[in-house]
Amino acid sequence: MATGMVTAEAPPAGRGQAAAAEPLLAAADIVKVFGKLTALNGAYLTVAPNEFHGLIGPNGSGKSTLMKCVAGAETPTTGSVRFDGRDITAASPAERARAGLSLKFQITSVLPALTLYDNILLALQARTSLAGLVFSRTRGVLHDRVMGMLEQFRLADRAGEPASALSHGQQQWLEIAMALAPEPKLLLLDEPTGGMSLEERRVTGELLQPIRAHCSLVIVEHDLDFIRDICDRLTVLDQGSVLDSGTVQHIQASPQVQEVYLRRA
């Protein structure tokens, strides 16, 4: 858990206050309208390099929609998304991936009939250009990277088995490994511990910690204990707007946040 000062996070520049240094991700003033429904109404999300950031809020508060606006799966009606010094508001999901954004959503993308090894290899090759595949000494390099990812997620001894043989939790870890294979700067996870046992959740927290050295994380989760344990900062959405954003300690002490969660308990 973070041990920094108990401070609320400033809204991003453009909402009245200048940010101290440019964050890795700054989604600002995001509005998303679906027909007559306003799913996001001026939401924002700011993430620093190497930060683990949790996005929480009641059902239907707009968490997944905000993640999709960051990933490019949805286009904001208005607002802006800056990533690693670039405005990516209009960039395609593929362009965002090349810029260093990687996402794993609730719906799995593991290919169950393929081995764990080939699932990771495919994830690596998907981000490697054809020229890179043809001209580089790829096989050996990619082999080391595939096995490295499998080892990091405690799956190396099962490399040759089909992904369908894994437990639900292990499939989630394989998919996180696939999302991390292209070495992104920011990983987006939407409810990665859904359907996991308590022990699998605990291990998931352990497996994620080392990525902090080279990658930031935005994670949507309903398990507040899990998110409090692994995140540095939290943003709380309610009815499409940010209720509060700041360190875990700040959010835990926030009267507005307590009011929303108590109101719905």
Ligand X SMILES: Nc1ncnc2c1ncn2[C@@H]1O[C@H](COP(=O)(O)OP(=O)(O)OP(=O)(O)O)[C@@H](O)[C@H]1O
Q: Which residues bind ligand X (CB under 6 A)?
A: 34, 37, 39, 57, 59-65
DSSP character string of 96-132: HHHHTEEEE-SS----TTSBHHHHHHHHHHHTS-HHH
- Across 16-25, b (16+ Cβ under 10 Å) vs e yields eeeeeeebbb
Q: How far is the CB of 156 from ligand X (least distance, A)?
A: 33
Whole-number Å distance between alpha carbons of 251 and 75:
29
The Cα 229–Cα 57 span in angstroms is 17
Question: In terms of Cα–Cα distance, which of 185, 207, 209, 184 is closest to 196?
Answer: 207
Who's near 135: CB < 8 A, 6+ residues apart? Answer: none
Judged by beta carbon, residue 34 or residue 90, the one nearer ligand X is 34
Compute the least distance from the CB of residue 158 to ligand X, in Å.
31
CB of 63 to ligand X, least distance (A): 4
CB of 175 to ligand X, least distance (A): 18
Closer residue to ligand X, CB minimum distance, 62 or 72: 62
Residue 208: count of CB within 10 angstroms of its CB: 21
CB of 62 to ligand X, least distance (A): 4
Nearest to 11 by CA among 178, 169, 252, 242: 242
Q: Residue 75 CB, nearest distance to ligand X (Å)? A: 12
Q: Which is nearer to ligand X, 64 or 170 (CB)?
A: 64
Question: Which CB, 62 or 182, lies closer to ligand X?
Answer: 62
Alpha helices for the chain (secondary structure H) = 63-71, 93-99, 116-126, 130-135, 138-152, 168-180, 198-208, 224-230, 248-252, 255-264
Q: Which is nearer to ligand X, 28 or 39 (CB)?
A: 39
Nearer to ligand X, 80 or 239 (CB): 239
Contact by Cβ (8 Å): 54, 251: no
